Copies of this chain bind each other. A is one copy, B any other.
Amino acid sequence: MCDREHAEIDPEVTVPEPPQEPTRVRAPSIRDVARLAGVSHQTVSRVLNQHPSIRPETKQRVLDVMAELQYKPNRAARALVTSRSRTIGILSASSTHYGPASSIAAIEAAARESGYWVSTANIESSDAGSIADGLAHLRAQGIEGLVVIAPQVRVFDTLAELSIDVPYVTLQSTGRDPEHTLSVDQIAGARKATRHLIHRGHRMIYHLAGPQDWIEAEARMRGFLDEMGANDVPTTAPILGDWTAEFGFHAGRELLTVRDFTAIFASNDQMALGVMHAVRDAGLEIPRDVSIVGFDDIPEAAHFWPPLTTVRQDFPEVGRRCVALLLGDLDSSAPEYRGTIEPELIVRDSVGAPAF
């Protein structure tokens, strides 16, 4: 110390490299803390990990030094030695939609509360390559758990192929993998929607389904067909859409050229909106001429014209339970939440009695 001070003053001793910016100051480590607190690094580590047998005054001294140095534990080092990343991966499709986005937000919040980080990978298309890419990306990160909100059938195949080695939860019921599933009972929801239309007197009901390879879409379709069958109402083949309002609009227009129906059950609210658009464009009124039911209850649905009768899914709850489920595997505590969540029919103004 004395030397250095001297060196700075004495003009003769030229410091070769006055450390003007010494390759960026490295962050303080537990050893730095230890040195200043006059303890061993292990004691610092013990403070960090709430080890019981530390004298309160020692602990306090360490904590003080930590604060002074603005010490931040190094996650990489910790992950390396414990081989735990404390990171949950989310594989998500269509994360711009309200439902998935809500669940993701809830998952993040719940995970954070439990001291976990969340990392996402969005897949755009549903081809196997894209799915595998996303999965590989997450896996390379060393995630400890995986949430799949990309509910295409193919995802499950890929999941199996890649023999995912971490606990995972999927937000959709596949039927074939109940162990890892936490789902809103899409079938029950679809039945409620369909039943509502039937009870109001409709017999000619079309179903605007989601993409074939989506498990949810399939489940809602099944629910529709089941309920129709249970009530002995003849059905026509569902129309396979792509979840967008745009598709709903075109499908609606197509359907209206024949107009052999009094009601439409759309597989999500966006498609329902598109259909409503087409119906009005045709000079018809909802629900006088055509009744419509949607699915999801996005926040906007209450302000469609007319306000849309739909099936509400509690997306945040799904996200929360999902994390609980995962953490149950990971930390073997936390309550058991496995099982399904019952969606709820929200009756608004888009359904009336059939016109004829």
Contact = CB atoms under 8 A, between A and B. Distances in A.
Interface in A95-152: 95-98, 101-102, 104-105, 108-109, 112, 117-122, 124, 137, 139-142
A74 interface: yes
Counting every copy of the chain, the complex holds 2
Contacts of A142: 74-76
Contacts of A109: 122, 124
Interface stretch (A45-53, A167-175, A184-192, A240-248): A240-248
Contacts of A302: 245-246
Contact of A276 (B74, B79, B244, B305): B305
A83 B112 CA distance: 23
A58 interface: no
Contacts of A307: 277
Contact of A273 (B83, B141, B249, B303): B303
A212 interface: no
A299 interface: yes
Contacts of A300: 245, 270, 273, 300
Instruction: Identify whether the interface residues of A are mostly helix, strand, loop, or mixed.
Output: helix
Contact of A137 (B77, B79, B85, B117): B117
B246 A299 contact: yes
Contact of A85 (B76, B245, B249, B273): B76
Interface string A258-300: 0000000000001001101100100000000000000000011
Interface in A227-245: 244-245
A142 B87 CA distance: 13
Contacts of A200: none
Contact of A76 (B79, B101, B121, B245): B79
Contacts of A119: 87, 117-120
Interface of A: 26, 72-77, 79-80, 83, 85, 87, 95-98, 101-102, 104-105, 108-109, 112, 117-122, 124, 137, 139-142, 244-246, 248-249, 270, 273-274, 276-277, 280, 299-300, 302-305, 307
7 contacts: A95-B105, A96-B101, A101-B101, A244-B299, A245-B299, A245-B302, A273-B300
